[in-house]
Amino acid sequence: MAMVIAGRAYVDGAVRHTRIAIRDGRIAAIGGNLSGDPLLDVGDDLIFPAAIDCHVHFREPGMTHKEDFFTGTRAAALGGVTAVLDMPNTRPPAMTPEALQEKLHRVQSKACVDFGLYGGIGPDSDVEAMAPHCAAFKIYLSGDNDMYVPPESLPGVLARVRHTGKVLALHAELRDCIDRSPSTSLAEYQSRRPGGCEVEAVKTVLQANATVKSPVHFCHVSSAAALRLLPQPGATSGVTPHHLFLSAQHSFDLPAMGKVNPPLRDEPERRALLALVAAGRATLLESDHAPHTREEKQEFAGAPSGLPGVDALLPLTLSAVNRGEMPLSLVHRLLCAAPARRFGLNKGHIEVGRDADLVVLDMKEKPVVSHSKCGWTPYEGMTGVYPRQVFMRGQKIVDEGCFVGAPGQGERVA
């Protein structure tokens, strides 16, 4: 007999009392009169699809003092995220079939949630050989790493990726318009990486892709002007919670805790971005979880860029629902339906045949806390809606704020 969860569920775009039968990890039936063993009645709590985070940096291999695949996926689970896509800028970077296979071998026994791996590429990478081993590809239009692709190489890279059928994710800031002089404050840092660098990068990619028509995804769009250029046919956008809910004027315990690329924007720009997201302009939300230790964030000029957030992605967005900043239907699209569709995951909806990835919510606010190995959160002092229970393929992995799953329970799904 199937397991059944009963309660108020978000089904077909509305909340209604129903029962959800789960068999072999998938939703087998939905209806008011289903019986099951066991039968879990969650009362007036909300049953909602679990979130998908298509942009995390879990730092394995090479930087596991910051995070590792076990601690990162456990943090994801505690925040109601049951599938993640992990970025390739590790040490060594995941830029060859062999590196991707080695990374998979290393992390699959540690994964607490389902996952996929990005493959990093440069101007001359063999994307055809890498494609079977990765969920999507990633390049940078700025920086000094091996995944930097100059504008003149974009058409060739886009064409090769198109033949694989994979999505190409981009860090969209043009290198040539960034002032890379050392900064000593958030205000100075963002002034040296202005939103115009992002706008020009988006325009450059869209122009290069006009005839190629490769599927592209613009990561962590931080400026309203750049988001207004999207979406375009085949081109999607992601926005992070730190760009939605934090600004360069935010007071951090250590100023470098807010140092991130693209940088936090001024408060009026943050509000403009939030308004566009609330109006449905963004394709999806993603955490860009990129932890560093507190020690590494002590001195601003030398501190690495990036901040943690996979465990706060869903809680902070649900808190925006409580404040009336966006409807629950938009949260479903941004964190569940759209990432599942974009990256080909059988998740994101309470529908028959989908993976039974569910969260149980009481919609009550709790202080944001860190579940990351790095031990801190940029959202200290804020509140979020944390799931009471989390199910991944029908298995309970979080119960009343405690992780009850196991490493190795997550599977490669992309």
Give the predicted TM-score (pTM) of the model: 0.98
Q: Give me the residue spans of the domains in the chain.
A: 3-47+354-363+385-403, 51-343
Measure the CA angle with vertex 223, ends 217 and 229; round to 5°: 55
DSSP string for residues in 256-296: GGG--SSPPPPHHHHHHHHHHHHTT-SSEE---B----TGG
| pLDDT at residue 143 greater than cutoff 90 | no
CATH class of 51-343: alpha beta
- Pair 139, 123: CB distance under 8 Å: no
Span 270-300, pLDDT tens digits: 999 999 999 999 999 999 999 999 999 999 9
Tell me which residue of 3, 1, 32 sits closest to 389, measured CA to CA. Answer: 3
Q: How do residues 205-250 score in pLDDT, each as one tens digit?
A: 999 999 999 999 999 999 999 999 999 999 999 999 999 999 999 9
For 311-363, the pLDDT digits (tens) are 999 999 999 999 999 999 999 999 999 999 999 999 999 999 999 999 999 99
Q: At what angle do helices 195-208 and 154-162 cross, to 10 degrees?
A: 60
Residue 116 predicted with pLDDT over 90 = yes
Query: What's the pLDDT at 1?
Result: 73
Q: Is the pLDDT of residue 103 over 80?
A: yes
Radius of gyration of the chain (CA): 20
The band of 70, judged by pLDDT with boundaries at 50, 70 and 90, is very high
pLDDT band per the 50, 70, 90 thresholds, residue 405:
very high
Q: Which CATH superfamily is domain 3-47+354-363+385-403 in?
A: Urease, subunit C, domain 1 (2.30.40.10)
Indicate the burial class of 92 (C-beta count within 10 angstroms; 0-12, 13-18, 19 or more): middle
Would you tell me how many other CB atoms lie within 10 Å of the CB of residue 26? 17
Tokens of 197: 């660098």
- What 3-state class would DSSP assign to 328? helix
What residues are labeled active site? 288
Phi/psi region, residue 398 (left: phi>0; alpha: psi -120 to 50; beta: rest), is: beta
Residue with tokens 């449905």: 280
Euclidean distance between CA atoms 11 and 3, whole angstroms: 18
The pLDDT > 90 percentage for the chain reads 99
176 secondary structure, DSSP code: G
What's the mean pLDDT in 43-52? 98
User: What is the spatial distance between Cα 267 and Cα 166, in angstroms, rounded to a whole number?
Assistant: 36
